[in-house]
Structure 1
Amino acid sequence: MSHILVTGAASGIGRAVAEAFARPGDRLSLADIDGAKLTDLADGLIELTEQPRSRQPTVSTLRTDLTKPTAPEECVRSCWERAGPVDVLVNAAGVYPSHDMADLDARVWDAVFALNTRAPALATAELARRAIRAGRQASVVNISSGAALRSRYGGGPYASSKAALEMATRAAALELGAHGIRVNAVSPGFVPVDSDCNPVSAEYAAAVSPNPLGRSGTPGDIAAAVRWLAGPEAGWVTGEILRVDGGSSAGTLGLPRIHPAS
């Protein structure tokens, strides 16, 4: 029986991750700023397992704004104290607004970094402190993005925040490995999700969707990778950024050949 904490669980990739971890007997702590969607998700997860009540996962929810400086630590502390030691932390909360670099101000930059970089780093730190004191192992999976490697117009703050998150992932893995705490990240390619906070136009989606496998990713694709990376099958993996993007990071599609084939 494991205790899994998922931030940003109310929708999109975070919701799919929560569903992937809804195994009989496990304890799920789900955190998000949208309390109503969290409640809806928790009710649905109980039905999803189709198990007798005695074997259904225990699901608790926490409404929190992780952009607040102390919220990430409080989130981990609250979930640990209410449902027991956290075995897996999935930092899926994030935001990807569009802001041109020439129009940046401190408020915009800090807001993006507060949720995308600072929150997962602080949540990881609080989990590490508690796990080390308790002599327990743990696994952390951050949700990064292909934008960490390649920015685009309007994506400067977002891409920068994810690049920083990937380095924070490696730094934490380096320092915490001796304590049995693994820290990795999954980097999704473009995955269409319904989002009121992060709307994407059809034109944008069409432009960023092409990849060698020829289909868009789904939240389930990302959730499956997260579950593997967090689990015992990946027990000797830490400090890694797993690109789950249909091969889009392998190269650029659509360019003509340098030399025409003979």
Structure 2
Amino acid sequence: MEFENKTIIITGAAGIFGCWIAAYFAREGARLCLSDIRMDGLEKAVAELGLDRSKVLLHATELTRDTSMLELVDLIRREWKAPDILVNNAGIYTRFSLLEMEFSDWDRVFGVNLRAPFVLSREMAKLMIAEGKKGSIINISSGAARKMNQNSVPYCTSKTAIERLSKGFAMELAEYGIRVNVVEPGFAPGSEVSELSDEYVANMLKNIPLGRSSGPEDAPGAIAYLCSEKAAFITGAVLSVDGGNSIGNYKRPPRAADAG
């Protein structure tokens, strides 16, 4: 198991993708630091995943507060000295008209989706450099980085920006052997805070060329690959793991049975 006793930080760990990533690396024998805004959400995730508590750190992190993020950094410094892998998974998806949204709504989206990954990537990279670790940083983006959606402009813009920021970090951290890459997961029912209707899910699936939603092995498998020795010569890359959803507009052809 390549990740046996590797130390991995996952933000947004109480959400669906965060839980999937945690479960994947736990099976690989990694030690995890799970971060989310709610401690009760983290405790629930640990219980539901059946994680070994002796190999798990938990931190309730408010990603719009510098003091909270620096508390997370201090926890890692005390417990591990430096992480091997940082997965900036936390994100906010909001639906606001640009003409109606509050300035504070804009600031929160960019605070969580862009500023927090900048702060944590920089501070965790400093720990890696101090310990001589050739670590890996993964930023979670979205196909929305290339496709503007009405009423979710702040989200789309923040995801475009995180992909550019990732390339910048990849350039500046290359001399230390620290690699920085991006994964764009696909649509997963339940990844939204709000409940998704069956009709909404069915319509989404029609737009995915490979005809299904993202599963628990898809994005985590891509993340693990990019953090592995198999990807030792990959940095600054963006890997879409979305069944082709971000390629462009897609209309599923009717099946023969439907046509008949």
The residue type paired with residue 218 of structure 1 is: G
Distance 2:54 2:140 in 1: 23
Q: Paired residue for 1:74, among 56, 71, 76?
A: 71
Measured against aligned partners, the alpha-carbon deviations of 1:18-67 in whole angstroms (never above 9, x if no partner) come to 1111046531110111211211222444x467xxxxxx861111111112
Measured against aligned partners, the alpha-carbon deviations of 1:136-186 in whole angstroms (never above 9, x if no partner) come to 211001110111110211110110111111111111001101111111110
Contact in 2 for aligned 1:3/1:84 (Cα 8 Å): no
Contact in 2 for aligned 1:24/1:57 (Cα 8 Å): no
Matched, 1:15 2:14: no
Measured against aligned partners, the alpha-carbon deviations of 1:177-236 in whole angstroms (never above 9, x if no partner) come to 1111111110122222255x3544545434433211111112431111111112222111
Matched, 1:176 2:173: yes
Aligned to 1:123: 120
TM-score normalised according to structure 1 size: 0.87
Distance 2:148 2:194 in 1: 17
Aligned to 2:91: 94
Aligned to 1:41: 45
CA 255–24 in structure 1, closer or farther in 2 if over 3 Å, else same = closer
Q: Which runs of 4+ in 1 moved over 6 A?
A: none
Unaligned ranges ≥5, structure 1: 50-55, 257-262
The residue type paired with residue 27 of structure 1 is: R
User: How well do the aligned residues superpose, as a CA RMSD in angstroms?
Assistant: 2.2
Q: Paired residue for 1:28, among 32, 54, 60?
A: 32
Alignment of 1:215-234 (within 5 A): 215-234=212-231
- The number of equivalent residue pairs is 248
- State the percentage of identical aligned residues: 39
Distance 1:22 1:191 in 2: 21
Contact in 1 for aligned 2:17/2:191 (Cα 8 Å): no
Aligned to 1:110: 107
Distance 2:12 2:188 in 1: 16
CA 97–200 in structure 1, closer or farther in 2 if over 3 Å, else same = farther
